[in-house]
């Protein structure tokens, strides 16, 4: 992925940033923000893929490991 870094200024809730940093195990605030943005984008893509999968299966999901439908 091509890096397109720019300096930005935002007003952030410091408590949320600290909480996210602790949860993510990141070392810097910038790393925390980058990781949180990646997670948000990944979650959206995963939700879209799940919706598409459910649409293909008409909402019917089976447990492939159980051997039952």
User: What pTM was estimated for this model as a whole?
Assistant: 0.72
Going by C-alpha positions, the residue among 54, 10, 49 that lies closest to residue 32 is 10
Q: Per-residue pLDDT tens for 20-49?
A: 999 999 999 999 999 999 999 999 999 999
pLDDT of residue 56: 83
Predicted confidence at residue 57, as pLDDT, reads: 75
CA distance 43 to 49: 10
For residue 58, the model assigns a pLDDT of 74
**DSSP notation for 27-45:** SSHHHHHHHHHHHHHHHHH
What is the per-residue pLDDT for 59?
65
Distance between CA 54 and CA 23 in Å, rounded? 30
Average pLDDT over residues 39-67: 84
């Amino acid at each position: 992925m091509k890096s397109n870094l720019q300096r930005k200024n935002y007003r952030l809730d410091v408590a949320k940033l600290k909480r996210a940093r602790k949860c993510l195990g990141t070392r810097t605030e910038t790393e925390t923000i980058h990781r949180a943005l990646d997670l948000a984008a990944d979650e959206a893509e995963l939700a879209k893929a799940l919706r598409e999968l459910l649409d293909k299966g008409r909402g019917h999901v089976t447990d492939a490991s159980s051997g039952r439908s």
